[in-house]
Structure formats: structure tokens, C-alpha cells
């Protein structure tokens, strides 16, 4: 057993996170159960009691499931830290792969792969039990396991060379490696944003250009009106895996894509889809992707700075039972366990920023459309069809929700006065 000041402090941090998560879950469950027998004021016109109650049951089931996952990962992380399992694994794989840079990188991938396998039963259960019970699962065993294989393969294809280059810098430039590592990581993130819609997404889903017709005409008209040149709008066969509906905007510059789920097109009329598209264009026009990239860049710079500090402090790895001759792999393995107990506390900040973006995109859409009705009706459909939680506890939503609640968005929209300048209506 590795019990010392450092391991005990890390366990204390993980326990504190688990405790607060449990309290937030408890508050959210209680908050929703209190409201279960009556549709909240303002929602009576578009949701019936059985659907509303089903959305609460879905929320409660998901909350309980996430508690179970959190407890499991706490027990597992605690065991890994205190038992000395990690140093054993690292030295066993070093014997097998060797201690050259390539051997260290291979060790890292093997250990990460083994640990990630433990998460698969949870994602299987979520898809084929939880989502299935509420009628959302459309996936099959074949799709699920093929997806997993593709994910692992992509992780290896992209991750291995990048981690190899970082490891090379680590050995060649002991003082400045972390700045290089950060720069490589940042360039990789930007590259992924660009290549994701073109190369990665099509490996999992079929993207089809929206067929000619009334909907396409209306949407292209909207892109002209907002001076948002885009060559194609795609529909995606989201229904292959799930009945959940969504729309998103990905890519940068001329590589940007607007993707509408086929499930969204089934559920909404032309004007509602136009409202969803205006909201997505709003995200782009207001440079939200760029802002997020800058915030993440600053965050990862701080992260690599901390890694550098820990790599030059031998007491840190020694406390976890590692020899410090080849510190990079153990450092990243331990860091990836500890970091979640730190980032958890800054989640409300990221969610605050994301909500601000959502309000801005909503206002942009209202300005473009010259009215708020179609956006409100599309949001109502998105929330009811996806059984979204209409009444989350405020503290729970601060930590876990990147979007404002439906109620908050409606109030903000009703208080805004659409600017009719852009409108063709």
C-alpha cells in the first residue's frame, strides 16, 4: 500500500469531487421528484403530463447511472493509486517493449488500452439498456462493436505519432519540451477541427447533401441572407444509432460543414429547421469556435506547464511508487487520473461561457428570422423529443449543463427585440 502525503492528498481530492457530485445528483433528483406530478408553469401548451413525467424518469435514471459510474471510477482510481498497480504495469511493459522512446510510447498505449476496456461495459449498458428502455436506442451490437474498433484504431493512428514526437521533445529538450508539446497538441486540435467533418465523421456516419426542394431552398436563402457562404448542407443518418435529434456546425474557414440529423428533419417543419440553422450560423458568425479554441489553448498551456513542474519534481512520481528514470509515461498516466478532480471545479466556468454563446446564437437567429416563434417552437420540440430535463436544479445545471434550460432560453428570447434589418419576411 502506497500511503503517503501525496497519495492521501490525491485521494482526498477525488473524494471531495465524488462527494460534491453525489450532493448535486441528490439535489437534482429531489428537485425533479418534487415537480413530477405537475407540468411546470409555462410548459402546459406543448408537453403533456405523461411525456413530462417520462422526461423526469429519464433524468433520474441517467443521474443514478452517472452516480454508479462515478463511484466505480473512484474505487478504481483509488485502487490504482494505493495498490502500486501502475508502477508494476509500467515496469512489466518496459521489459516487454524496452525503454527506447518508441517502447515508452507503446507502453503508454497498451496501459491506456487496458484501462479503457473497463469502461466498455458501462457504455454498452447505457446504449442497450438505459437508452433502449426510453426508446432512444437504434444501434445494433454490430454497429456498437464496429464503432469501438474504429475509435481504438483512430486513437492509435493519430495518437501514436503525436505522442512519439512529444516523447522525443521530452528527451531532447528537458527544459522547453512542454512548450513544444503544447504547440504540437494545439496544432493537432486545430487540424482535427478541419479534418473531422471530411475524414473522421464519414467513417461513422453517412453524410448526404440535402436533396433539392423547399427545405434546401429556404436554408440556402438563409445562408445568403446572413452572408454565410456554404457550398452544401448535409443530413446525417443519426437514426442509425439513436432517436435523439440534433444539428451541429463543424469545421473552420472553408472546411466548415452544417450537419442536420435525419431525425431532426423528421421532427420539424421547414421554418423550425431554418431557425435551428440560423442558430448554428450565429455560432459561426460570432466566432464561438475560435473563442473555444483560444480558451482550450490557454487551458492546455497551463496543463502542460503543470506537467513540466511535476516532471522536474522527483518526489511526485516517487510518491506513486515509480522509478523516475523514464518519467514521461508514468507522469501522464497519473496526471490523467488526478486532472479530473481539478477540472471538475472549473466546469461551471466553461458552462457559463458556453451558455453565453447559446444566448448569443439564439439572439442572432431571432434577428435573422425577424421573430422568435419558430426558434422557440424548434427548441420546444428538441427538448420534448429528446426528453431533456426541463427543470434541473440550478447547482446541478451549473456543473453539468452546457446549454441554458428551455425556460431560460425562452425568457431571454422573449425579452429580446428582433432586429428586422436582416429579415426577408
Smallest separation, CB 356 to Zn ion (Å): 11
In three-state form (DSSP H/G/I as H, E/B as E, the rest C), the secondary structure along 191-254 is HHHHHHHHHHHHHHCCEEECCCCHHHHHHHHHHHHCCCCCCCEEEECHHHCECCCCEEEECCHH
Give the rounded distance of the alpha carbon of 78 from its chain centre.
Answer: 25
Which of 392, 386, 396, 418 is CA-nearest to residue 407?
A: 392
For Zn ion, which is the closer residue by CB, 106 or 365? 365
Smallest separation, CB 346 to Zn ion (Å): 21
Near Zn ion in 94-153, by CB under 5 A: none
- H/E stretch holding 377: helix 373-385
Please report, for residues 57, 361, 372, 418, the alpha-carbon distance to residue 415 in angstroms, rounded to integers and kept in the order given: 32, 15, 10, 9
For Zn ion, which is the closer residue by CB, 93 or 226? 226
> What would the x/- binding string for Zn ion be over residues 360 to 379, using CB under 5 A?
-x------------------
Smallest separation, CB 248 to Zn ion (Å): 8
Give the binding range for Zn ion (CB under 5 A) out of 86-94, 257-265, 320-328, 357-365.
357-365
DSSP letter at 39 equals P
Smallest separation, CB 361 to Zn ion (Å): 5
For Zn ion, which is the closer residue by CB, 10 or 259? 259
Collapse the DSSP code of 260 into the 3-class scheme (helix H, G, I; strand E, B; otherwise coil) and give the result.
Answer: strand
Judge contact between 390 and 405, C-beta under 8 A. yes
Q: For the chain, how long is the longest CA-to-CA vector?
A: 71
Question: CA–CA separation, 359 vs 129, rounded Å?
Answer: 34
Residues sharing a CB contact under 8 Å with residue 424, sequence separation 6 or more, in sequence order = 221, 225
C-alpha cell at 193: 477541427
For Zn ion, which is the closer residue by CB, 241 or 357? 357
- H/E stretch holding 261: strand 257-261
Give the binding range for Zn ion (CB under 5 A) out of 109-117, 121-129, 208-216, 351-359.
351-359
Question: CA–CA separation, 348 vs 387, rounded Å?
Answer: 23
DSSP letter at 126 equals I
For Zn ion, which is the closer residue by CB, 358 or 367? 358
Smallest separation, CB 413 to Zn ion (Å): 13
Near Zn ion in 288-327, by CB under 5 A: none
Smallest separation, CB 17 to Zn ion (Å): 28
For Zn ion, which is the closer residue by CB, 247 or 331? 247
Near Zn ion in 48-87, by CB under 5 A: none
Number of chain residues interacting with Zn ion (CB under 5 A): 2
Question: CA–CA separation, 252 vs 265, rounded Å?
Answer: 24
Smallest separation, CB 317 to Zn ion (Å): 42
Give the binding range for Zn ion (CB under 5 A) out of 98-106, 127-135, 178-186, 354-362.
354-362
Catalytic sites, residue numbers: 280, 362
For Zn ion, which is the closer residue by CB, 324 or 360? 360
Angle, CA 401 vertex, CA 132 and CA 12 arms, to 5°: 100
Angle, CA 26 vertex, CA 24 and CA 31 arms, to 5°: 95
Give the binding range for Zn ion (CB under 5 A) out of 111-119, 223-231, 353-361, 372-380.
353-361
Smallest separation, CB 280 to Zn ion (Å): 7
Give the binding range for Zn ion (CB under 5 A) out of 110-118, 257-265, 321-329, 358-366.
358-366
For Zn ion, which is the closer residue by CB, 17 or 355? 355
With cell 461495459, the residue in question is 121
With cell 439572439, the residue in question is 363
Entry field: residues in the chain: 425
| Contacts with Zn ion, residue ranges (CB under 5 A) | 358, 361
Amino acid at each position: 500500500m502506497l500511503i503517503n502525503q501525496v497519495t492521501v492528498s490525491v485521494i482526498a481530492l477525488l473524494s471531495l469531487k465524488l462527494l460534491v457530485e453525489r450532493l448535486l445528483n441528490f439535489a437534482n433528483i429531489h428537485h425533479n421528484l418534487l415537480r413530477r406530478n405537475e407540468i411546470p408553469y409555462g410548459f402546459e401548451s406543448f408537453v403533456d403530463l405523461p411525456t413530462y413525467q417520462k422526461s423526469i424518469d429519464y433524468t433520474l435514471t441517467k443521474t443514478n447511472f452517472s452516480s454508479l459510474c462515478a463511484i466505480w471510477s473512484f474505487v478504481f482510481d483509488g485502487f490504482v493509486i494505493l495498490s502500486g498497480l501502475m508502477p508494476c504495469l509500467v515496469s512489466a511493459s518496459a521489459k516487454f517493449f524496452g525503454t527506447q522512446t518508441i517502447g515508452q510510447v507503446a507502453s503508454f498505449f497498451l496501459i491506456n488500452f487496458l484501462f479503457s476496456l473497463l469502461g466498455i461495459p458501462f457504455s454498452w449498458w447505457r446504449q442497450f439498456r438505459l437508452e433502449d428502455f426510453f426508446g432512444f436506442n437504434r444501434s445494433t451490437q454490430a454497429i456498437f462493436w464496429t464503432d469501438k474498433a474504429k475509435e481504438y484504431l483512430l486513437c492509435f493512428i493519430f495518437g501514436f505519432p503525436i505522442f512519439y514526437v512529444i516523447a522525443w521533445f521530452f528527451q531532447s529538450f528537458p527544459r522547453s519540451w512542454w512548450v513544444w508539446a503544447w504547440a504540437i497538441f494545439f496544432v493537432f486540435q486545430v487540424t482535427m477541427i478541419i479534418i473531422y467533418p471530411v475524414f473522421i465523421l464519414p467513417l461513422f456516419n453517412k453524410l448526404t447533401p440535402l436533396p433539392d426542394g423547399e427545405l434546401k431552398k429556404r436554408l440556402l436563402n438563409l445562408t445568403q441572407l446572413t452572408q454565410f457562404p456554404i457550398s452544401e448542407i448535409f443530413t446525417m443518418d443519426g437514426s442509425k444509432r439513436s432517436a435523439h435529434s440534433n444539428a451541429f456546425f463543424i469545421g473552420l474557414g472553408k472546411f466548415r460543414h452544417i450537419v442536420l440529423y435525419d431525425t431532426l428533419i423528421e421532427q420539424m417543419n421547414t421554418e423550425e429547421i431554418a431557425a435551428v440553422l440560423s442558430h448554428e450560423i450565429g455560432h459561426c458568425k460570432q466566432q464561438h469556435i475560435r473563442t473555444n479554441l483560444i480558451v482550450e489553448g490557454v487551458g492546455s498551456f497551463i496543463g502542460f506547464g503543470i506537467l513540466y513542474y511535476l516532471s522536474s519534481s522527483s518526489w511526485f512520481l516517487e510518491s506513486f511508487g515509480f522509478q523516475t528514470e523514464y518519467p514521461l509515461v508514468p507522469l501522464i498516466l497519473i496526471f490523467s487520473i488526478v486532472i479530473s478532480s481539478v477540472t471538475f471545479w472549473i466546469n461551471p466556468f466553461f458552462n457559463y461561457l458556453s451558455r453565453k454563446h447559446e444566448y448569443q446564437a439564439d439572439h442572432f437567429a431571432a434577428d435573422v428570422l425577424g421573430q422568435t416563434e419558430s426558434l422557440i417552437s424548434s427548441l420546444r420540440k428538441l427538448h420534448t423529443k429528446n426528453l431533456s430535463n426541463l427543470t434541473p436544479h440550478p447547482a446541478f445545471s451549473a456543473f453539468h449543463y452546457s446549454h441554458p434550460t428551455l425556460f431560460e432560453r425562452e425568457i431571454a428570447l422573449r425579452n429580446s427585440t428582433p432586429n428586422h434589418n436582416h429579415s426577408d419576411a
